[in-house]
Every structure is written in structure tokens, then in C-alpha cells.
Amino acid sequence: MRVPAWTWPLTWAAALAVGIAFLAALAYAPREEVMGDVQRIFYFHVSTGWVGGLGFMVAAVCGGLYLRRPSDNLDDIGHAAVEIGLVFTVINIITGSIWARPVWNTWWTWDPRLITASIMAVVYAGYLALRFSIELPESRGRMSAGYAILGFVSVPMTFFSIRLFRTIHPVVVGTGAAAAESIGMSGRMAGTLMLSLAAFTLLFAALLTHRLRLSRLQRLVEHRSWEQLGSQ
Amino acid sequence: MADGVMSPPSDQQKRNAFARPGRAYIKVIQALLWKDWVSAARSPEVLMVMSVFAFMSLLVFYFAFELENGLGAGMTAGLLWVTLVFAGILGFNRVMASERESGCVDTLALAPVDRSAVFFGKWIGGLVNLLLVAALILSMFSLFFPISMLRWDLAGVVILGSAGFAALGTLLATLTIKSSAREIILPLLLLPPAFPLLMAAVQATRNLLEGAGWEAIAAWVNILAACDVIYLVLTWMLYDRLLKE
């Protein structure tokens, strides 16, 4: 199977962008006054969280489209998006934990944001388990599309948990009193964050194309082995 | 009662269904409930298993937590919902299992009726099951521990919590029907999305038992009701697409 022409340029662009974002987070962004250098993990913490949410959103949209009109392609995109989203959600939780150790003086605390984020991860782990356990491709596509839509409830729940409940997790995105009092970013910090978000979005797109290619190869192999069985 | 659906409809019945679609819809729900009721009455093992499980859990909790001196509101609320959730999972596992084993799923999927009516039939059946077990758990709590749980306000919270939980359970029992590991995968799929609902249910129950004011309880009851609406609408919309052969 041929690699789509834009796969490699996209991959290199993503690698370059993540490299630049890494340098910006370390060198361009100013040192935070209270927390010191450890705060620099913030740029990747937020970006990986964003990619997680983005992946789950793509999966839910693909799920909706699939239920309207089933196609292998939509099923593959949804599956790939969930896998990537889950990996980045886990990275998001781990980076948060690393950051929490010096700043909150604990690796883990039962804060609404931490609970909802870990539940979101478990929901999509369940999605993958469901996929593994259904053999028939049509049923697998339909059932996992349904679960991707149902499971998406956990994404806004995670996003809004720090806005609805009393929590120690700061609010970054948005306006209003909560955002104003919890995190004040200088221009350079905001710039670095934007750069990092863009870089990770590119990385998501690149990983998605690679995962999609892998899914297609898997389908091809599955198909061929059925054919061989048929010819014997 | 069920013959309007089970046997080929006469011309008169067809005209009736066409003129009053709401009537036909309710008839499908009735037929499904009737079928499940008859099969449950002939082999009542599901309700029996759920009840015995609830009783055994209370016994285990009693010894694990040394509850002779009674238990706090937080502990009671937690035990009530943990028992109900696990008993519920046992029940949901059977909701579609009997349909699958008897080949009734295909018939349900092929039947020329609105599939959301099938959903509501299954949902009401699951909810009734859950509420029967809840009534048993609440009576056992009141009997064994020095705390009265047979209260109208508590019943309201239990009904609200069970309604949303039964909706999710019905959908996921259908969703895992083709899975090779359905009995073990159902709790994995069911519990995480049910989390906000269960959290609100536990908190509302605890506040009620503590005798907190209505303002404190209302916040959680609102979340509970919101979860019910979201889950019911979502499951009702998805069911039609999932129950398909």
C-alpha cells in the first residue's frame, strides 16, 4: 500500500514544531515567579490535555457519522483518534502529577479535575477493550461508534469540572473571575502556550495519518487471509 | 394483550395503528414488558440472585466494617449505592442475555416497530428490577441497623438515581451483545460514564440522612435529574442505531 504523498511532510513539520515548542518552553518563556522552572511543564501539560480532548471529539463525530452511514474509513479514524487521545490523556495526567509533586506537595489528590480526567481515561480504555472483544467488523464498528458518542459525555465533564466545583486546579482557558485570579500569563507565556498547542495539534494529525495507514494494512491482511481460507 | 403485536395485525388494527401511532408505540412497550414479566415469573433466578447478592453484601460489610454500633450517614449512603450498583450490573447482564440465547434479538431487530419503544420496554423492565432490589436493601438496612431508610424523600433519590443507571445499563447490555467477553466488559463500560450520576446520588443520599437543609440536597438532586435527562435522551437516540442486524 502506498504512503499518501503528504504523510512525510506532515510528520517532519510536526517533529519540527514540537522541537521548537520544546525550546520555547525551556528558553523563550520567562521563569515563573512563584513556582520557578517546574512551571515550564505547563506548556506540554495543557497541550497533551488538548490533544486528548481533540482525539475524543474526533472519535465522537466519526461515531455519529458512522451510525448514519457505516464505512471502514470512519471506523478507522475513530479508533485511531481514541488511541492517540488516550495516550495523550495519560501523558497529561502524568505530567500533572509530576507538576503537582513540588507545587501541591503530593503526587495525587482527590480533586474534581483529577477524578474526571482519570475517569475520562478509563472510559476510553473501555472503548478499546470493547473493540478487542468484538470480532465481527460491522458489529465492532457500530458498537464502538455508539460508545464513542456515549463516552464523550466525560470530555465536557472534565473540561467544566474546574469551572463548576471548588478545586485547586487552575483555570487557563476562558474569561471571568476564576480565570483571572488563578493564572496570570505574561505575553511570552501565552505565546509559548499557543505555539505548543499548535505543535501538538500537528503532531496529532501526523500520528493519525500513520495510525490510519496501519489500520488499512490490518484490514488488507485480514481480507487476504479470508481470501486464502476461501481458496483452499 | 400481546396478540396485537405477536400475530399479524388485522386491517382494523393496521388502521388503528396508523390513526393513533402513540397507541401502537405503547402497545409495543406493553408487549415487551409482558413477555419479560412472564419469562421472569417462570424462572425468577435473576431477581433471586440480585436479592441474595444484596443480602450477602450487607453481611460482608457488617463484618468488614464492624458495624454493631450503627454507621454514619456517609457510610450508609456509600453502602446503599455500592450494593445497588453491583446488584444492578448482575441484572443488566441478564437483560439481553436471555434475548440472545433464545434468538429473540434478531426478532426484536426485525420487528416492524419503532426500536425506541423496544428501548423503553427494556428500560422500564430494568428499572423495576432495580427498584425491587432497592426496596429490599432499604428494608434490610432499616431492619439490621439502627437507622430508618424507609422514607419518601430517600425513595425519590433512589428512583432518580436508578432511572439514569437503568438507562445506561440497558444501552450497554445491548452494546456488548456481540462481545465475546460481555459479562466482564459490561461493568467496565458502565461504571465510568455512570460516575457523575452515582456521585450525585451518593451525595444526595448522604445529605438526606444527615438531615441537611433542602439547599444542600437540591444541588445534588439537580445534577441527578440532569444526568437522567442526558442519559435517557442519549440512550434513546442511540438505541435505534445499535439494535440492528
pLDDT digits over B195-218, tens only?
999 999 999 999 988 887 788 888
- At B145 the pLDDT is 78
Question: In Å, how far is A127's CA from the nearest CA of chain B?
Answer: 7
Among the listed residues B232, B215, B186, the one whose alpha carbon sits nearest the alpha carbon of residue B88: B186
Q: Does A143 touch chain B (CB under 8 A)?
A: yes
Beta bridge partners of A32: A36
Inspect the interface and report whether the beta carbons of B241 and A67 lie closer than 8 Å.
yes
pLDDT digits over B89-137, tens only?
988 887 777 778 887 877 887 878 788 888 898 899 889 989 999 999 8
Question: In Å, how far is B174's CA from the nearest CA of chain A?
Answer: 9
Q: Can you say whether the dihedral through the CA atoms of B57, B144, B201, B52 is positive or negative?
A: positive
- At B1 the pLDDT is 42
Residue of B nearest to A119 (CA): B192
Confidence of residue B7 (pLDDT cuts 50, 70, 90): low
Inspect the interface and report whether the beta carbons of B230 and A126 lie closer than 8 Å.
no
List of residues 6+ apart from B96 with CB closer than 8 A: B105, B122, B173, B174, B177
- At B124 the pLDDT is 92
Question: Helix/strand/coil (H, E, C) string of A63-130?
Answer: HHHHHHCCCHHHHHHHHHHHHHHHHHHHHHHHHHHHHHHHHCCCCCCCCHHHHHHHHHHHHHHHHHHH
Residues of A in contact with B182 (CB under 8 A): 133
Question: In Å, how far is A120's CA from the nearest CA of chain B?
Answer: 8
Contact in structure between B30 and B1 (CB atoms under 8 Å): yes
Q: Which of B181, B192, B241 sits opposite A119 (nearest CB)?
A: B192
Inspect the interface and report whether the beta carbons of A142 and B241 lie closer than 8 Å.
yes
| Chain B interface disruption, residue of A111, A124, A128, A134, most B CBs within 10 A | A134
- At B14 the pLDDT is 59
- At B9 the pLDDT is 60
- From first to last of the 232 residues of chain A, give the pLDDT tens digit: 667 788 889 999 999 999 999 999 888 888 887 788 888 898 999 999 999 999 999 999 999 999 999 999 999 999 999 999 999 999 999 999 999 988 888 888 888 889 999 999 999 999 999 999 998 888 899 999 999 999 999 998 888 887 777 777 887 765 555 554 556 677 888 889 999 999 999 999 999 999 999 999 988 888 888 888 877 6
Inspect the interface and report whether the beta carbons of B242 and A143 lie closer than 8 Å.
yes
- At B4 the pLDDT is 44
Contact in structure between B179 and B185 (CB atoms under 8 Å): yes
Confidence of residue B58 (pLDDT cuts 50, 70, 90): confident
